[in-house]
Chain A
């Protein structure tokens, strides 16, 4: 079953790709390899997965302020997520990183029923009208 979720648009643009979802926050500086996009932190549940060409769905970023450069580096190295969704709050690191990397960034509106967004479904990120569409595969 497919469904749509309303979102606040932080950085505009459109993208689509497979979902890579987690309920754990991410420290972009220490947990993601900027050259490959691989999540390398053994204490993270997504360890071993790559953010490359996915729509990353996560609560918010934590830790280093340099994480903003890390997001930009992922983009420069062609291994960034195609779009990013913050599920709890959009932090300054993710917002500023996506702003210079031109990665569409949306935050889920909290006044709606949000089903669990599952990995490897197809996500359509519409950062013009503020809609995240999830297509089950």
Chain B
């Protein structure tokens, strides 16, 4: 099947509107071929990943430096967290900071909204249900599809960048109504209680299928935002799923029981304890900050605790007094950044990181090379506050 391009799109591909636009169409054409798209359709919002210098490195900096010279975003475009909180002290090298600032400036130059968040759905009024968007951060893509009824594939940093530049995306996969019906169901044969349980379910399920949409049946129909985010992030970390659903499936099913849960824990839980608690991946929203503050209930953390949240959520938490409560407990609220691949959590500085995030555990173990004590929030509060 071939992607049919309009005359204008053909011209853009042929560099008639500059090299940057042409490269964007080249990317759209490749992903269109990969996903058997017939045509390109408009998108109304883009969310980009690839902002943290620790993830895209010097090659990314060089690419964005050149690329941003020749183009502007055509649709509202929010961006993922960067490497650190710009308003707080840190020990990062000057090279890191210089490179990070260059990335931020390049995105700014193209017209991005300086959100530095992986949870844009909690910060912005997104387009109405049924509209197409391109979300590259996988937890955001899953939640946009599931909770907000938006249509997006699990985009990559570069496919979303191409959408931001052209305002278009291939019409394929989860953008087509019939593909949004799950083809495979996970039969849950264990009790799901904490946000960590949902994360483990997500990580196992993502690994176990190549389908774009998966069903968890009634188990996910009434879960809170913390559990939803934990599940969505883990699903996106281990697999290619861009959506989950509560719809029943008459077909293939896989089982998730005690044994499967243990196999994920065995892979990601690599130490008994740690010297820092990191809460994020995804960043915490108002709901989780309030929950955390209630759970701490006047006690203090016995270990250093980093709490990652978007700046606008932090500002709200300051007005409501929640931020002060968390800071009084010894928590450090960090904006603009997040746990996974954070340069603030290195194996030089820490022997082990305590977290309840399966996504964070994956990247801390595999990319940062730091051991992880993976445990749920209730246990973190029980064991590490007094």
Contact = CB atoms under 8 A, between A and B. Distances in A.
Nearest to A94: B34
30 contacts: A11-B30, A27-B238, A29-B367, A30-B367, A41-B366, A61-B240, A62-B239, A63-B138, A63-B236, A63-B362, A65-B156, A65-B157, A66-B156, A72-B63, A75-B59, A77-B59, A89-B34, A90-B35, A91-B154, A92-B34, A92-B35, A95-B33, A95-B35, A96-B31, A96-B156, A96-B157, A97-B158, A99-B158, A100-B27, A105-B30
Interface residues of B, number: 45
A107 B62 CA distance: 30
B34 A10 contact: yes
Contacts of A75: 59
Given A10-B34, A95-B30, A100-B158, A64 B49 contact: yes
Contact of B57 (A65, A73, A95): A73
B239 A90 contact: no
A17 interface: no
A50 B248 CA distance: 42
B159 A92 contact: yes
A94 B267 CA distance: 25
Interface in B14-43: 23, 26-27, 29-31, 33-35
A65 B138 contact: yes
B50 interface: yes
Given A30-B366, A96-B158, A66 B56 contact: yes
Contacts of B159: 68, 92-93, 95-96
Contacts of A68: 50, 156-159
Contacts of A77: 59
Chain A interface helix/strand/loop/mixed = mixed
Contacts of A27: 237-238, 366
Contact of A66 (B29, B55, B63, B267): B55
A2 interface: no
Interface of A: 8-11, 25, 27, 29-31, 34, 40-41, 43, 59-69, 72-73, 75-77, 88-100, 105, 107
A83 to B, nearest CB: 14
B371 to A, nearest CB: 13
Contacts of B207: 62
Given A11-B30, A65-B155, A99-B158, A59 B136 contact: no
Given A92-B156, A92-B159, A60 B210 contact: yes
A40 B365 CA distance: 11
B309 interface: no
B209 to A, nearest CB: 10
A60 B33 CA distance: 15
A76 B30 CA distance: 20
A130 B318 CA distance: 59
Interface of B: 23, 26-27, 29-31, 33-35, 49-50, 55-60, 62-63, 136-138, 153-160, 162, 206-207, 210, 236-240, 267, 341, 362-363, 366-367
B155 A92 contact: yes
A99 B136 contact: no
Contact of A69 (B30, B56, B137): B56
A60 B240 contact: yes
A95 B34 contact: yes
A96 B138 contact: no
A76 B61 CA distance: 11
A63 B239 contact: yes
Contact of B59 (A31, A63, A73, A95): A73
A73 B49 contact: no
Nearest to A75: B59
A88 to B, nearest CB: 6
Given A63-B236, A92-B31, A34 B158 contact: no
Most chain A CB neighbours (cut-off 10 Å) among B59, B159, B236, B237: B59
A112 B35 CA distance: 20
B156 A67 contact: yes
A66 B49 contact: yes
A134 B211 CA distance: 29
Given A72-B158, A91-B240, 13 more contacts: A10-B34, A60-B240, A64-B237, A68-B50, A68-B157, A69-B158, A72-B63, A73-B60, A76-B62, A89-B210, A96-B27, A96-B156, A99-B29
Nearest to A73: B59
A99 B156 contact: no
A34 B49 CA distance: 17
A59 B208 CA distance: 13
Contacts of B362: 30, 63
A63 B63 contact: no
Contacts of B33: 8-10, 90, 95
B156 A93 contact: yes
A53 B267 CA distance: 30
Nearest to A76: B59
